[in-house]
A and B are shown apart, each in its own frame.
Chain A
């Protein structure tokens, strides 16, 4: 079906149309709708409810990317679908809720280490938002036992309960001279603001229906809807609509649930879909005024994509590690190897294990099969301990999203992502892997498993913020340099992403944008 060949239905103009019902879109919708702005949210995937979050690793795959494929190319093709969400709540409804802050140094990588670029803002600019968000959502942790954490208010809740696996593995790290502390988790260790505490049953990535894990279905999306915002799901944005002179965004064209092309006009257009689809949407919106894509006068749209390369390791112990208990992410964090010239990495230690799925026990030894695999699962179900190191990838212009020659079901080019790690990053992976093996041995593990090859977690960049249009797409509030009423939100704005999970920073950054939009609405919605 060609968009051009179908008639369009025009809808009433609203104050803001938001593409994407994940964390960033939900935060902005909640804030603007509370201020009596008329808001429409367009979400490509289904309209999930808490009651849809079934306790099954198999069923959890419905929550992951189900839209147009992404071509993964380059010397070291990245991973996409596992990291992305599909439907209301976005990737946050299956995220692990590990919420470390970016470090002070992450904002000044070019100045300190000659690598990448500095952010146009400093840690101190985001610090009040980190503090505000952690109080709102209820982060469990212990800032004293997390000595690497940058300045900020103590966490509002104590750490979650930990189990034998964490105790054993912490000893291993201690035995090789490395510190560990409770992972800061956006998961409630106690009842908090009417929400129930975690039951330590390890279903985080299948979606937490009891409300212990912070995600948009709990608060920001229902708040938005209660305030009068309209959520249209199965609505795939295909183009940003521009004024005749190409100077302003006037709305978004999309395909609705029935396959009909429609347009939603608005004073302000906010792209809060994930960074891959955000880039694709801008590039697919090219016009005669913007022949290389909307917001792309800098040629920066799609460049400087970021992901984390990670090393996963496991060891077998001859005791009951209670490894079915806890959270999907980890019980402990270690950041002794952070903010160094050779690069940063973080350890995430002692996750709750499930038997099946990509990260399940049965996939620890990926070449094992036959009755030996059954034997392994039987032993590992009690005795496995595992750790993961997450390494920092530096931004490089050639790690880039462009439009592919392949088209989706609507006749629009899909995204192509070229990715490669440089020599420093490959060396860092080897360091992480070797250190992990030492820690597991020092913890008393018998047989060890360590992947020879990294895997990827988290996706950011491609829409990076900066001081001006020379090498960035938007300012630190997400305002597009080329178009004053086009706002970008989410991890795509990150100039660098350190070696920590991005969701806390997305929250903080988006709250900052929300404040700015609220205070300066008149300058956006002219």
Chain B
């Protein structure tokens, strides 16, 4: 744990509040989820199919989530110890391992979409994706076979909110003072 002496007010100069630690070419590198997405870092917990589904539904839940690094953020958190995990699932009593929950949820999305709409979620027309997600918000879609769909909706939506609105940049964009005491980053 850090023993840094807290400051009365940290100075914020565009730093990200959500950084992930990667090894790139053998060098430890801190990246924001958005930077990790741009650099197309290798995912550790999610398969390419799961990543595609997560990004597709994330983009419907909150446009911009894909480029903000939703998949990279979730993948990173699923690959570390539960006690260090920062996902909202941790605080709403989803039992670890969280990777199992996410895999079951993403598989259910694709299976139900394919069964009732003829295609996995990522390749559904935009209007069909919206109808599917709207159903998930309140009940299990037809053919659903996984964790309760409203819980999946809530958590994937929370993850999208994290990468889009959990950062200092988002506050700055909205004109809301962030006013941090201590910024994450050095503690990784």
Contacts and interface: CB of A to CB of B under 8 A. Distances in A.
A is bound by B: yes
Interface residues of chain A: helix, strand, loop or mixed (majority):
loop
Interface string A49-80: 11111111111011011110110100000011
B82 interface: yes
A125 interface: no
Contacts of A72: 93
A147 B162 CA distance: 40
A265 B102 CA distance: 43
B62 interface: yes
A58 B166 contact: yes
A81 B82 CA distance: 13
Given A56-B18, A58-B162, A358-B91, 15 more contacts: A48-B1, A51-B1, A55-B181, A58-B17, A58-B18, A59-B184, A61-B91, A66-B83, A66-B90, A80-B93, A81-B93, A199-B9, A199-B181, A369-B61, A369-B62
A370 B61 contact: yes
Interface stretch (A33-41, A109-117, A157-165, A374-382): A374-382
A90 B76 CA distance: 26
Q: Using C-beta atoms within 8 Å of the partner chain, give the interface range for chain B.
A: 35 or more
A360 interface: yes
Nearest to A79: B93
A363 interface: yes
Interface string A12-37: 00000000000000000000000000
Contacts of A371: 63
Residue of B60, B166, B175, B187 ringed by the most chain A CB atoms within 10 A: B166
A154 interface: no
A357 interface: yes
Interface string A223-264: 000000000000000000000000000000000000000000
Contact of A209 (B86, B95, B170, B182): B182
15 contacts: A46-B1, A46-B83, A51-B5, A52-B2, A53-B6, A54-B180, A66-B84, A209-B181, A209-B182, A324-B179, A355-B176, A358-B88, A366-B137, A377-B165, A381-B175
Contacts of A381: 174-176
Interface string B131-169: 001100110000000000000011001100110011000
Contacts of A58: 17-18, 86, 162, 166
Interface in A327-378: 355-358, 360, 362-363, 366-367, 369-371, 373-374, 377-378
Nearest to B63: A371
A61 B88 contact: yes
Given A324-B176, A362-B161, A49 B184 contact: no
Nearest to B129: A370
B117 interface: no
Contacts of B4: 49, 51
Given A56-B166, A357-B88, A51 B2 contact: yes
A328 to B, nearest CB: 13
A304 interface: no
A82 interface: yes
A156 B153 CA distance: 46
A280 to B, nearest CB: 15
Interface residues of chain B: helix, strand, loop or mixed (majority):
loop
A130 interface: no
Nearest to A367: B137
A51 B88 CA distance: 23
Contact of B84 (A47, A62, A203): A62
A62 B90 CA distance: 9
B95 A69 contact: yes
Nearest to B170: A355
Residue of B95, B134, B175, B182 ringed by the most chain A CB atoms within 10 A: B182
A356 B17 contact: no
Given A52-B187, A209-B182, A356-B162, A196 B8 contact: yes
Nearest to A55: B180
Nearest to B178: A55
A199 B182 contact: no
B96 interface: yes
A86 B83 contact: yes
A159 to B, nearest CB: 20
A54 B86 contact: no
